[in-house]
Structure 1
Amino acid sequence: MFLNEKIQGQVREMLAPIQNPVELVVFTTSGIELPGQEVGLQDETLGLLKEVVALNPNLSLEQRSLHSDPEAQALGLSHAPTILLREKGSNRSNIRFLGLPAGYEFSTLIEALLMLGTGQSKLGEQSQADLQKVTAPVRMQAFVTPTCPYCPQAVLATFKMAFHNPNVIAEGVEANEFPTLSRRYNISGVPDTIVSGNTQQRILGGQPDRVFVEAAIKASAGVVA
C-alpha cells in the first residue's frame, strides 16, 4: 500500500470536485529494454495509480503495452512507464508523465486530474489567448525529481499549455528514472524544461506560467532564444 488510510481520506477529499470522467493510460513493457527504450519503476507506478483511481468513481486506469499497442506506436513512445492523462473518450494524448509520480510529484498528479476532471486550469485569460499563437507542434519536457519542491510548478505549467492547445505536447519526466534521456539534454539540476519546436528553448527553475507561454510561442515560431 502506497497511501495509508489517513492519506486516502485526504486525497479522496481533494479529488471530490472531479465531475468529468478522466482516464489514466499507462504504457508498460515486459521488463525487457529494446534499443532506444528505457524502463523505470513500472510496478510502483501501477500500484500507486490503482490506489488513486479507487478514490473517485470518475477515474479509471488502463494498462497497455509499450511494444505492441497501436497508440503507443503511433505516438512513438519509448519510455516505460508513460502515463497519458485525458478526459475519458478523448483522443488527446498530449498530457503525459514519464515515471513514478511520487514525492512532490504526487501533487502534480492530483492537480492534473483536477484540471482534466473539472475543466479548470487556472491559466490566465490573456495567457490562454496568447497560447493560440502556437500553431506548429511544440514539445515541453519538464525534468523533475520527487524530492524537488519547485518541480510541480514546472510540470503543471506545461500541462496547462497542453490543456489549452493540442499543438503542445507536455511531458513531466522523472529524471532519475530515465538517465539516458536526462543526459541527452544535459540535465544537471531540476526543474529544467526543454521546449522543442522549430527552435529549442530552455526554462530553468519553477517559473511563472507566462514564461512557459512565451517559450512555447517562440519555439513554435522558430524564434531563437
Structure 2
Amino acid sequence: MVVEMDQETQAQVKTLFAPLDSDVKIHLFVKEHECLYCGDTRTLAEKVAELSDKVQVAEHHDEPGKGKAGEFGVQRVPAIVLEGKEPYKVRFYGIPAGHEFGALIAGIIAVSTAEIPLDGAIIEDIKDIDEPVHIQVFTTPQCPYCPDMVKLAHYAAILNPNIESDMVESLEFQDVAKKYEVFGVPKTIINENTAIEGLASPDLFVDKLYEAIG
C-alpha cells in the first residue's frame, strides 16, 4: 500500500491540528518481519507527526503482553495507541488509511483537547459506566461509514477509563474478523457478548454499551 498525502490534505490536517492542547504521542507497535503493513503504518504515523510540533511518534517492538505493549494492552501489530492528556485505551489495529485516516486525525484531536463532540446527556451516560468495557470496531479502508463508528468508540474510551476501544482492520486481521463473523463493516463487538451491525447513532451505541454490561 502506497502511503501518500497530497498538499491539500496536509493543509487541511494542519488546520485541524491548530487547536491541539496537550502533546500527543503516537505509540507505534511494529515488527520488522512477517508484518505486511508495518512499514506503511510507520510511514503514515511519521507523515502525520510532521504536521504538528505537538505530535510525536514513539516506536516500539515489544512482544504482546510485554513492555509498552503490555502497558497499553496491544495484542497484535501493526498497532497505534494514542496518548494525550492521559494514556487512553484508544487503539488502531492495522493501518488507518483510506476513510479511516479521518478517524485517526479525530482521535489525535480528541486525546489532545479532551473535547468530545457528543451531546451532553450521551457524555454523562458514558461517564456513568462503572464496569470494564472492551469495544472492537471492525473496518476496511474503503468503508465510508466505519470512521464515524470508530470515533464513537474511541470517544467513549477517552471519556471513561473503564472503557477500551479498538479499530480492527478486517482485511489485515482476517482471523479475528472470522472469529467474530464479520461479513460486513462496520461491525462492533462489545464485551464479546453484544454486536452492532452497521453505523449506530450515539443513542443506540450507549444503549448497547449498557446492554453489554447488563
TM over 0.5: yes
CA distance in 2 between counterparts of 1:175 and 1:12 reads 29
Which consecutive residues of structure 2, in runs of 5 or more, have no partner in the other structure? none
Deviations 1:148-171 (A, max 9, x none): 100011100101110111111100
Which consecutive residues of structure 1, in runs of 5 or more, have no partner in the other structure? 33-38
Give runs of aligned pairs for residues 124-139 of structure 1, distance below 5 A.
Answer: 124-139=119-134
Tell me which residue corresponds to 2:23.
21
The CA RMSD measured in Å over matched residues stands at 1.7
Tell me which residue corresponds to 2:138.
143
Deviations 1:29-83 (A, max 9, x none): 2324xxxxxx451100110110111101111111101317513134553210111
Question: In the alignment, is residue 217 of structure 1 matched against residue 210 of structure 2?
Answer: yes
1:31 maps to which of 30, 33, 44 = 33
Tell me which residue corresponds to 2:172.
177
Tell me which residue corresponds to 1:62.
58
**Superposition deviation, residue 201 in structure 1:** 0.8
User: Secondary structure at the residue paired with 1:123?
Assistant: coil
Task: List structure 1 runs of 4+ shifted beyond 6 angstroms.
Answer: none
- Asked if the contact 1:139–1:169 (Cα under 8 Å) also holds between the matched residues in 2, the reply is yes
CA distance in 2 between counterparts of 1:63 and 1:95 reads 16
User: Secondary structure at the residue paired with 1:100?
Assistant: coil
Deviations 1:81-128 (A, max 9, x none): 11101216x3x2411111111110011011111112222111221112
Tell me which residue corresponds to 2:83.
86
CA distance in 1 between counterparts of 2:108 and 2:52 reads 11
TM-score normalised by structure 1 residue count: 0.88
User: Secondary structure at the residue paired with 1:79?
Assistant: coil
Tell me which residue corresponds to 2:199.
206
CA distance in 2 between counterparts of 1:154 and 1:7 reads 22
Paired positions, count: 211
**Superposition deviation, residue 180 in structure 1:** 0.6
Q: Which amino acid aligns with 1:42?
A: C
CA distance in 2 between counterparts of 1:148 and 1:74 reads 31
Q: Which amino acid aligns with 2:39?
A: D
CA distance in 2 between counterparts of 1:28 and 1:66 reads 8
2:45 maps to which of 41, 44, 49 = 49
Q: Which amino acid aligns with 2:94?
A: G
Q: 1:75 to 1:21 in 2, by over 3 A?
A: closer
Percent identity of paired positions between Structure 1 and Structure 2: 29
Give runs of aligned pairs for residues 1-20 of structure 1, distance below 5 A.
Answer: 2-20=4-22
Q: Which amino acid aligns with 2:196?
A: I
CA distance in 1 between counterparts of 2:212 and 2:8 reads 44
